[in-house]
Amino acid sequence: MSLPYRLRHRASRWLAGPFLMLLALLLHALPALAESPRLATLDWTLAETLSALDTPPVAVGQVDAYHAWVREPALPSSVTDLGLRTQPNLELLASLDPERILVTPMFSNLTPRLERIAPVENLALYTPGRDTWTEMRELTHQVAALVDRDAAATRLIEDTEAHLEHLKQERLDDDAPPLLVVQFMDARHVRVFGDNGLYQAVLDRLGLDNAWTGTTNAWGFSLVAIEALAGLDARLVVVEPYPAGVRATLSESGLWQRLIERSRGEPLTLAPVWSFGALPSARRFADQLVGALENDDDR
């Protein structure tokens, strides 16, 4: 069932009739690709994990927004947009006839409905009280088991961990200052990231300290006014995007300017990284962070 559909789909896109056989042969030569089941997911974190395992889902919720906020790994152009993540288009989903639908606990109220289309797999990440990195590894294995790509999962985990270890050993100074990772909501409020979040997990792997030790919510951040950052001896890391007009306002803000003066160097600015992501986002964040720290040392 799945093979003919894939063939037809891809063939009509890229290849004319005579190449069909060739493609079939090719796909046979790559058993993993050929046998990968047709999965649909509502969640971007699961979508990025699937893509990183080279088995991108056939359908995801809010594809455009995924590319704006998660960015990488990019979804193939063949992926179908299911509409809002909280209200995926069920008729469309049913017509795609997926073999399995992956969700996170946030969407558990949709489970009974989705189960009428295909078996639903509920995978948790960022469970409060659990070590984020361990859970991320487990999630990767669970997802891989569903697409029969256990080896790829092991590889992805090992690669990511080795890469982060390499960054830690080779490219980071031992005396790196504690960091304070924030994202601006408006000119007066930031999300500051801490326990139970992606950024914290990456900082831990890199052996960097997070200066924020305050409470965080179940998604690993706390919404605070800028004044809450005062007095923390740290280097500021700002994750983009800045909302409209915020940069201009900040340049006039007495408190922000003094905060920068007293912090450990100019704030580092990083391109957007999906702050509720899994291993691929973790790796991107680590690369950008280390790159920014290095650039700064060169100056």
Partner 1 sequence: MTADALPHTTPRRRLTPGRACLLLGLLSAGLALAHLHAGPGLTAGLASLVNISSASTEALVLHFAWWPRLAMALMAGGGLALAGVLMQQVLRNPLAAPTTLGVASGANLALMAASLLAPGLLVLGREWVALAGGGLAMGLVFALAWRRGLSPMVVVLGGLVVNLYFGALAMVLLLFHQEALKGMLIWGAGSLSQNGWQDAAFLAPRLALGMLGAAWLLRPLAVLELDEAGARSLGVSLKWLRLGGLGLAVFLTGCVVSVVGVIGFIGLAAPNIVRLAGARRLGTRLLWSTLLGALLLATTDQLLQRYSGILPTLIPTGATTAALGAPLLLWLIPRLRLHGSAPPRPSGTPTARHAAPRRLAAGLALALIAVVVIGALAGQGAAGWQWASPLDGELLQWRLPRLAAAAGCGLMLAIAGTLIQRLTANPMASPEILGISGGSAIALMGAIFLIPAPSNPMLVGAGVLGALAALAVLVMVNRKSGFQPERLLLTGVAITALFEAIKAILLAGGDPRGQQVIAWLSGSTYYVDTASALTVTGAALVLALLAAPLARWLDILPLGAATAASLGIDLRRARLSLLLLVALLTAAATLVVGPLSFVGLLAPHMARLMGFTRARAHLAGAALTGATLMVLADWLGRQLLFPQEIPAGLVASLLGGAYFMWGLRRL
The nearest distance, CB 169 to partner 1, in angstroms, is 34
Strand partners, 59: 40, 80
Q: Which of 56, 197 has the CB closer to partner 1?
A: 197
Structure-token pair, residue 280: 């691929």
The H or E element containing residue 223 is strand 221-225
DSSP string, 25-36: HHHHHSHHHHH-
The nearest distance, CB 122 to partner 1, in angstroms, is 9
C-alpha span between 205 and 23 (Å, rounded): 42
Q: Which of 86, 295 has the CB closer to partner 1?
A: 86
The number of C-alpha atoms within 13 Å of 43 and in the hemisphere containing its C-beta is: 24
The nearest distance, CB 13 to partner 1, in angstroms, is 14
Strands, E, within 3-153: which ranges?
39-41, 59-60, 80-81, 100-103, 120-122
Structure-token pair, residue 26: 């090719």
Q: Which of 174, 252 has the CB closer to partner 1?
A: 252
Q: Which of 17, 112 has the CB closer to partner 1?
A: 112
The nearest distance, CB 226 to partner 1, in angstroms, is 5
- List of residues contacting partner 1 (CB under 8 A): 65, 68-69, 80-87, 89-92, 94-96, 105-106, 108-109, 112-113, 116, 184-189, 191, 214-219, 221-227, 230-231, 243-245, 248-249, 252-256, 258, 262, 276
Q: Which of 23, 92 has the CB closer to partner 1?
A: 92
Vertex 12: Cα angle to 61 and 74 (nearest 5): 35
The nearest distance, CB 46 to partner 1, in angstroms, is 14
Burial of 225 (0-12, 13-18, 19+ CB in 10 A): exposed
Q: Which of 74, 84 has the CB closer to partner 1?
A: 84
The nearest distance, CB 139 to partner 1, in angstroms, is 17
Residue 14: count other Cβ atoms within 10 Å of its Cβ.
Answer: 9
C-alpha span between 210 and 228 (Å, rounded): 15
